[in-house]
Amino acid sequence: MGQALLLAFGLLLVIEGLFPLLAPQAWKDTFSRLIGLRDGQLRTIGLIAVVLGASLLVSFS
């Protein structure tokens, strides 16, 4: 279980690092737009991400 968690975290870091590596200006623009969102909007985005991620984990385990 611990090894799988570390592998998943490593994959997350690789995927998260691709966007700023390949398109740094678009990455900055995206974060600038996120700053303008209200807290409720950010929470909704976070909830959707958690639900989708959990659904994928359940589906493939």
Residue 4 tokens, joined: 């799988």
Residue 30 tokens, joined: 């995206």
Sign of the CA dihedral with 27 first, then 57, 43, and 2 last:
negative
pTM of the model: 0.71
SS3 of 33-46: the string is HHHCCCHHHHHHHH
Residue 32 tokens, joined: 């600038």
Mean pLDDT of 18-23: 95
Whether 17 shows a pLDDT value over 80: the answer reads: yes
Q: Going along 1-61, which residue ranges are E strands?
A: none
Residue 59 tokens, joined: 């589906």
Mean pLDDT of 21-41: 94
